Chains A and B, each alone.
Chain A
Amino acid sequence: MEIAFYLSGLVAVLATLGVITHLNPVHAVLYLIVSLLAVAMVFFALGAPFAGALEIIIYAGAIMVLFVFVVMMLNLGERVVARERAWLRPRTWLGPALLAALLLVVLVAGVWRGEFGAVIAGEPLTAKAVGTTLFGPWLVGVELAALLLLAALVTASHVGRLPARPGERRP
């Protein structure tokens, strides 16, 4: 499973680079979808098929569809491509890239010196095990997430409400 892990990790990194360097917004979003699918494959290789499947269903299958949807509706044309091209000149990205490279060196050094942790075993985790862990030791976290989502839901329904026309009473 190690080969699968490293290959899909490589795909994820390359696809994410594609997201940054592509000029056309729709193509960039497509690269992001490939990147998410590759991350799902990483989960599969690590032996967490439940997390991998949820990654595809929720991120690639629902959230990114909305992204693509919005980007398509915006009808971004040549103007945006030209602006993206201007942003991709070396003097724009060289500084941040250097700083990020420095951080990467620190990260790699830290990983290199520290414990490697468990080796990729490919022992698959069942959905039941994930569920009992979530609703056992992590119950408080789940409840907090539920609270947050409820608040988001109420806010979304308030924002999405149509404004009342004059002379019309809305419940």
Chain B
Amino acid sequence: MTAWLSPAAFEVLVAMLQALAILLGAVLLGAILTVVERRLLGLWQDRHGPNRVGPGGSLQLVADMLKIFFKEDWIPPFADRGPFVLAPAIAMASLLLSFLIIPLTPSWGVADWHIGLLFFLAMAGINVYAVLLGGWSSGNKYALLGAMRASAQTLSYEVFMGLALMGVVAMAGSFNLREIVAAQQGLWFIVPQFFGFATFLIAGIAVTHRHPFDQPEAEQELADGYHIEYAGMKFGMFFIGEYIGMVLVSALIVTLFLGGWQGPWLPPWLWFALKTLVFVLLFILLRAALPRPRYDAVMGFGWRVCLPLTLINLLVTGAVILLVAPP
């Protein structure tokens, strides 16, 4: 042990390496999922999916990466350069930063803040700008329409996404995700907060623009929505950002409603990974199975069904907490 490697410095180093590992892990997982999703969609829709590159299509990711890196990074002459370049960076960074607050195991995790959950909501709020700026700065009607749909949808669903989580916060008595996991020692919050869970799952899908809520990028009507003018790695960042959002929402659901790393027999990291995997697969299965609803139906569902449901859930939760344990 050399002199400069004092215990405190060692701790900082370990924390930094953990943060780096989680960052790289999230990006890699997002990239791998792009291929896994296509294979699984093939399986569930009774077709093959990409199976040509490498044994069983296992090298498809490498081929995709090579292609996306070597494509011309084209910026349309009619685009507004600054926001156009900024948008994909916001799309990926805001979602990646949210991984800060998720405790993977008792010892793994980047930040341990008492405003943990609020940080995620803030990052989700900033993530809207990626779509909005990308769509506007492209100078394309389809892109603008897609951006408008996306931002209206995300705003509507973010309203009750926060409300859906407040039941969990009230029961755990903290915004800190580690304390929320600890509060689920006896009973996972999916049982007492089932409506919170259901609405958060819906809101999570809507905020990441995944399938039943992907009107912003509906191919049939909008060509490709807000990222129609993007090419090369800028498109790649939007694309992988979507999968990172999927992993993020799955990990958050696991942390908030399914007891995080807790579980018998298996080590904590394996429990966390397995539970997250189940929700990632659910996301993909939803895309394979469900048709795309009309846009006004999506908005109406959010405001007329989910918002009242979360408000009632919050009211009942508060009443029960006060009845069971008066302050």
Q: Point out residues on A near B: beta carbons under 8 Å.
A: 26-27, 30, 33, 49-50, 53-54, 56-57, 60-62, 65-66, 68-69, 72-73, 124, 126-128
Number of A-B residue pairs, CB cutoff 8 Å, is: 71
Name B's A-contacting residues (CB within 8 A).
80, 82-83, 113-115, 118-119, 121-122, 124-126, 128-129, 132-133, 136, 144, 147-148, 151-152, 155, 158, 162, 173-175
Q: Is the CB of B158 within 8 A of A62?
A: yes
Q: How far is the CA of A124 from the CA of B148 in the complex (A)?
A: 38
Q: B86: nearest residue on chain A (CB-CB)?
A: A30
Q: Is A57 a contact of B83 with CB atoms below 8 Å? A: no
List, in ascending order, chain B residues with CB within 8 A of A54's CB: 118
B114 and A65 contacting across the interface, CB-CB below 8 Å: no
9 closest A-B pairs by CB: A61-B125, A53-B118, A56-B122, A49-B115, A72-B136, A53-B115, A57-B122, A57-B121, A65-B128
Q: In the complex, A54→B119 CA distance in Å?
A: 9
Given contacts A62-B155, A127-B114, A127-B175, contact A73 B148 (CB under 8 A): yes
* B133 shortest CB reach to chain A, Å: 8
**Contact A72-B124, Cβ < 8 Å, known A53-B119, A62-B158, A65-B151:** no
User: Within 8 Å CB of B128, what residues of A?
Assistant: 61, 65
Closest chain A CB from B220 CB (angstroms): 24
Q: Show 29 A/B contacts (Cβ-Cβ < 8 Å), sorted by A.
A: A26-B83, A26-B136, A27-B82, A49-B114, A53-B118, A54-B118, A56-B122, A57-B118, A57-B121, A57-B162, A60-B122, A60-B125, A61-B124, A61-B125, A61-B126, A61-B128, A61-B158, A62-B158, A65-B132, A65-B155, A68-B151, A69-B132, A69-B151, A73-B148, A126-B114, A127-B114, A127-B115, A127-B174, A128-B174
Q: Chain A residues with Cβ under 8 A from B136's Cβ?
A: 26, 68, 72
* CA A127 to CA B116, docked complex, whole Å: 11
Given known contacts A57-B162, A62-B158, A69-B148, A33 and B114 CB-to-CB distance under 8 angstroms: no
A30 and B118 within 8 A (CB): no
B136 nearest in chain A by CB position: A72
Complex Cα–Cα for A128 and B327 (A): 14
What CA separation (Å) do A69 and B131 show in the bound complex? 11
CA of A8 to CA of B199 in the docked complex: distance in angstroms?
A: 36
Dominant secondary structure at the A interface? helix
* Bound-state Cα–Cα, A57 to B136, Å: 22
Grouping DSSP codes into helix (H, G, I), strand (E, B) and loop, the B interface class, with mixed when no group exceeds half, is helix
Most buried by B among A30, A49, A57, A127: A57
What A residues does B151 contact at CB under 8 A?
65, 68-69
| Cβ distance B202 to chain A, nearest Cβ, rounded Å | 19
B124's closest neighbor in chain A, by CB? A61
| Nearest CB of chain A from residue B179's CB, rounded to whole Å | 11
* Minimum CB–CB distance for A40 against chain B, Å: 8
* Beta-carbon contact of B115 and A66 below 8 Å: no
* Residues of the B chain whose Cβ atoms lie less than 8 Å from the Cβ of A60: 122, 125-126
Question: A72 to B226, alpha carbons, bound, how many Å?
Answer: 13
Option from B82, B115, B126, B174 in Cβ contact (under 8 Å) with A50:
B115
Interface contact A53-B148, CB-CB below 8 Å? no
**Structural contact, A69 and B152, CB atoms closer than 8 A:** yes
B129 touching A50, Cβ below 8 Å? no
B127: nearest chain-A partner, CB-CB: A61
Contacts of B129 in A (CB 8 A): 33, 65, 68
Task: Enumerate chain A residues within 8 angstroms of B152, measured Cβ to Cβ.
Answer: 69
Which residue from B113, B126, B155, B162 sits with its C-beta under 8 Å from A56?
A: B126
A53 to B169 alpha-carbon distance, docked (Å): 16
A30-B83, A65-B132, A69-B152 in contact; A56/B114 too (CB < 8 A)? no
Which residues of chain B are near A62, meaning CB under 8 Å? 125, 155, 158
